[in-house]
Structures are given as C-alpha cells and as structure tokens.
Chain A
C-alpha cells in the first residue's frame, strides 16, 4: 500500500533522487558512539536540532493560550500554568528546553571548535552555525519577556538599557525593540512577533543552509 502510493508519486515527480540526497548516506565509524564511545561528542548537533523541534512544537501549543498584551499576558500564562490540562508540562518543556538548547548548542560549538572542523572547506558552515547561535540567543532574550512578570520586565529593561549604551546605533536599536519610550504594550507585542515569527523564520532558513552544507561536504574526518 505504502509502496504503491510512493510509486504513484514517484512516477509523477521523480522524488527518489531528492530522498536519496536527504537521507541516503553512510555514517562513518569515527562519529558513531557504537564503535568509539568518545564519539558521543558528535551527538550534540543532532540533539540541538531535536530540542529545537521540541521548542517549536511546545511553542505552537503555548500560542493556543498565550495572549500578547500587557493586561492579559500574565493572566494567560498563569491560566496555562495552573488550569490547562498538561499546561504545566508543555510550558515546563518550553522553559527547560530553552536552556538545554543553549547548552547543547554550546557543546556542539565546542566540539566543532576543538576538532578544528570549521577549517577549509567548512568555513561557511561555521559562519552559518554562529548565526544560528546568535538567533538562538535572540529567541532566548525575546522569550524571556513574554510571561510579563516582574523578572521578565526588569530584565528586559536592563537589556534595553545595555542596547541603548551602544554608540550611534544604540538609541535607534533600543527604540526599535521597545516600540516607544517605555517598556510597555508595544515592547511586548514586538518581542512576541520577533519570538514567534521573525526569529524562527530566520532560524529555519539558517538550519536548512546548515544541513545542506553538511550533506554536501560530509562530516569532517577523524583527527
């Protein structure tokens, strides 16, 4: 049955080459923890992606309840946390996942750095990876404000003050993020838009680039 469906589509669209490009490749011995346990350091990239997927999924469920305005944001998060079935779990996964994705990404970056895997011909992939790192930090920064509790509010105030202290660009940057002269309703909607639409879009584009490059070039060889 499945094969028939596949063949029906394949006859029309010739998807086999695409599938082979994506999935059909060998994993070399030196990155396989089944052969050398120390190769577990090569797991961190995959785990970063895995947790990113968890973040996207749990985040999608959170937006079913979250209301990005200053009057209802806190109340909606509180409702989600205390009343919604499994709301505590989904929010908890998003909260802890946000920290773990940074941890995994950091470990992945360190693995790539200390194995010298960023060297020719993989320079571009390193740069894309660093951009992913910055986008992730941006996601962490914007997501921190969304519960709209005191911790979120005051941390964001400090962050925007720091942005403000950058010469020339600073005040513009601050006003752009803040959407006015105070941290308030506009700041919350802007951070929400950045957190849910802008940054994830950039992240997905960068991830596609990251994965295409790793498939083109293969994983770096053993030391």
Chain B
C-alpha cells in the first residue's frame, strides 16, 4: 500500500501541493495522511475508471456504426475539389486566410502570431510564474486563454460555414456521399461497386511509323525503354494526353526535371531537325483513348 508517514523507503511518491513551501525541508505527507476518502489506484479506482472508459468505448462504437468513416473517390490531380483539412485544423486554415496573415503578411501568419501563440502555450509555466493556481486569480493568463478559445471557435465556425457555402454555390456534394450513392446504384444493378482505379495498359499508337525507329536511334530508349513503358524515365505511352507536340519538343530540347536536354544526343545520333519534329509529332499522337 501507499507509504505512510514513517515510510523508510527512499523515494516517497505522491506529493501534495496543499503543503506550503516553507524554509526548511518538509517531508511531504502523502494523501493517506488526510483522513478518509483517498482510494487505492489498483484495483478500486482503476475499475471505476474502466467504467468511464467503457461508456466512451460504446460512444465510439455508436458513432462508428451510425456514421461510417468517409471515403471519397481516388486522388486525381485534375479533379475539382474544394480542399478542406480535418476539423481540428480548420481554425488555423481559416486564420491563414485573414488579410494580415496571408499574401504579403504570410510570415506574420505562419511564424509571427502562430509562433507566439503556440510558443507561449508551450512555455506557459515560465510566463505565468505566480504561485496562484485558481484561474480567476490569474486574470492575464485566463483572459488570454479565453480569448484564444473564442477565436478558435469563431474561426472554426467561419471556416466550416464558408466551406458549406462554397459547396452549395458550386453545386458540389461531398465525395464520400457521391461514392456511397454510386456504389448503391451499381449494387442495385448488379454492377461492380468499386471506385478504385484499375490499371489499364495503354497501347502504342502507330507502332510502324518511321518515328519509332527514330525513337530508338535517338537513344530515347535508354531511359524510356524500347516498349515506351519507361525505365529510368517515365512511361511515354499516352504521353499525348498531357503534352502536345510543342511541349514535347520543348522537353526534348531543354529537358525537364531530371531529364537533361537531349538535342545534342539526338543530332549526334544523326537525326535532322525534321526528324526530331517528326518524333515529337509522333509522341504527341500517343493518346490513351482513340
């Protein structure tokens, strides 16, 4: 059991801040020194705490069953979706949209106010050093906290209202709802209900075009492979979906990302300017949908 007043153990756990700090050393009396109502942690209190835990657990399960975790459609960079962070980041998100926390003042937004707010929260014990613990006797600390709480509530609410408004204005429905509806519809029709993207192999367009030979001659194949599926470089099958002839020509001449300019390599391999243009034109024809 807990250590009594005459405990001989070196470490006496359970301090008590009710004891005033005096000049001399006081052996901190433990809670058993106060009559009556303290209780052993194990098993008495832990069992009571477990009951509270069970109530919370049931709460989570009820939430889980009534509101399944949302899942939208697979990530697609060209989708039009209004970005929204998880709810507990909404206040920060909204705050960074304020005129003096964004644009030219973005540093003030990200480092200035946010840094000071979170920094002072982190260092609260060293800023609020008084002995007083009751919040109504610590007007500065308490009012700053109340102010922050009010700001958080206000910003969160504004962010959510604006999001809802924007969704309504653009006529968008949350994707998880759309996915559920689509799946239900397909289920009723006996169709597959999955929204996952299935990898489809894209065919080479005009494989017999002379440009295919140029492609090999110009050493493109060393990175993009003979079947155009890519190796060190990306796959070029379906490259025409995202790049037109001009863009491809530009990449060949100037490089892009890790790819250096290939103009010298191509001319060195005996391609004329026209050959290179033909090659780019042929690559631009590589579309996934005919």
A residues with CB within 8 A of B: 21, 23-29, 32-35, 43, 46-47, 50-51, 54, 70-71, 74-75, 77-78, 81-82, 88-89, 91-100, 102, 110, 113-123, 126-127, 130-131, 137, 140-141, 144, 147-155, 157-159, 162, 165-167, 170, 181, 215-218, 220-223
B39 touches A155 (CB 8 A): no
Residues on the A chain within 8 Å of B176, using CB? 149, 151
> In this assembly, does B100 line the interface, its C-beta being within 8 Å of a C-beta of chain A?
no
A24's partner among B2, B79, B107 (CB-CB below 8 A) is B2
A88 → chain B closest CB, angstroms = 6
Q: Mark contacts of B6-27 with chain A using CB atoms, 8 A cut-off: 1 yes-contact digit, 0 otherwise.
A: 0000010111111100000000
B49 at the A/B interface (Cβ < 8 Å)?
A: yes
Point out the residues of chain A lying under 8 angstroms from B72, CB to CB: 147, 149-152
B110, CB-defined interface residue at 8 Å? yes
Given A24-B41, A50-B53, A150-B79 in contact, is the A92-B107 Cβ separation under 8 Å?
no
Interface residues of B in 216-270 (CB under 8 A from A): 257
Separation of A1 and B85 alpha carbons in the complex (Å): 54
Are B18 and A222 touching (Cβ within 8 A)?
A: yes
Instruction: Specify which of B49, B69, B121 is in contact with A96 (CB 8 Å cutoff).
Output: B69
Q: Which bucket holds chain B's interface residue count?
A: 35 or more
Q: Which residues of A contact B63 (CB under 8 A)?
A: 92, 96
Given A25-B14, A26-B30, decide whether A159 and B122 contact each other with a Cβ distance below 8 A.
no
Question: Besides the contacts A25-B2, A216-B13, what 7 more A-B pairs have beta carbons closer than 8 Å?
Answer: A28-B16, A32-B38, A121-B15, A144-B85, A153-B76, A158-B83, A220-B133
Q: Which of chain B's residues has its CB closest to A17's CB? A: B9
A19 to chain B, nearest CB (A): 9
Q: Are B34 and A123 in contact (CB under 8 A)?
A: no
Q: Is the interface of B mostly helix, strand, loop or mixed?
A: loop
Inside 8 A of B79's CB, which chain A residues have their CB? 150, 154
Residue from A43, A98, A114, A137 in contact with B49 in the complex, judged by beta carbons closer than 8 Å: A43
User: Across the interface, which residues of B come within 8 angstroms of A99, CB to CB?
Assistant: 86-88
**Contact flag A74-B37 (CB < 8 Å), given A140-B86, A144-B85:** no
Across the interface, name the chain A residue whose C-beta is closest to B14: A218
Does B13 contact A120, Cβ atoms closer than 8 Å? no
B274 touches A (CB below 8 Å) = no
Q: Are A221 and B13 in contact (CB under 8 A)?
A: no
Question: Could you tell me if B142 and A114 are in contact, using CB atoms closer than 8 angstroms?
Answer: yes
B202 at the interface (CB under 8 A from A): no
Known contacts A119-B128, A218-B14: A26-B40 contact under CB 8 Å: yes
A75 and B132 contact, CB distance less than 8 A: no
* Chain A residues with CB below 8 A from B83, complex form: 151, 154-155, 157-158
Select B68's contact among A88, A158, A217, beta carbons within 8 Å: A88
Q: Can you list 24 residue pairs at the A/B interface with Cβ under 8 Å? A: A24-B41, A25-B14, A26-B31, A28-B16, A34-B48, A50-B57, A71-B197, A75-B197, A78-B195, A88-B68, A96-B67, A100-B56, A115-B135, A118-B125, A121-B15, A123-B126, A149-B75, A150-B81, A151-B84, A153-B81, A181-B257, A218-B14, A220-B133, A223-B134
What 0/1 readout, one digit per residue, does chain B (92-117) give for beta carbons within 8 Å of chain A? 01001000000000110111000000
Given A75-B196, A116-B134, A27-B38 contact (CB < 8 Å): yes
A157 CA to B85 CA, complexed, in Å: 10
Within 8 Å of chain A (Cβ to Cβ): is B188? no
Asked whether B60 lies within 8 Å of A97 as measured between CB atoms, the reply is yes
In the complex, the answer to whether B199 meets A29 with C-beta atoms within 8 Å is: no
Cβ of B191 under 8 Å from chain A: no
Q: How far does the alpha carbon of A47 sit from the alpha carbon of B72 in the complex, in Å?
A: 30
- Least Cβ distance of B95 to chain A in Å? 11
Q: Are B42 and A23 in contact (CB under 8 A)?
A: yes
Contact (A130, B121) CB under 8 Å given A70-B75, A114-B142: yes
